Structure 1
């Protein structure tokens, strides 16, 4: 009897290895985040990744979220 092939894990740059997230927020919050991104020379995506990892850390979880746009 042959075993079924093991599913391969997606690597960070493989197509389909990242999921998108759409969020809605108030205009004042959006403007504040855009200003912070400009002041820190960051993207909104990188700020979101940092915030989600901080949330995971706060709840004792491993910080596993990676930025697909970072090299």
Structure 2
């Protein structure tokens, strides 16, 4: 799972919080890829929920006028 924040793509599942910026690369078929994004195989709904909680904890947030924990990104 990734987020776009301040014009940068960040890996929300990496364990190294200092090195979580990703490069977007072009593919041969006119698509885009994130070759160094963390891949996590899942075998159950519980696995998915665990990864979603981890990514939510790693998202960029800050205070806004109407919400003290507003998301500042798109994921």
TM-score (norm 2): 0.21
Larger Rg: 1
TM-score (norm 1): 0.22
Between 1 and 2, higher relative CO (CA 8 Å, sep ≥ 6) is seen in 2
The structure where helix makes up a greater share of residues is: 1
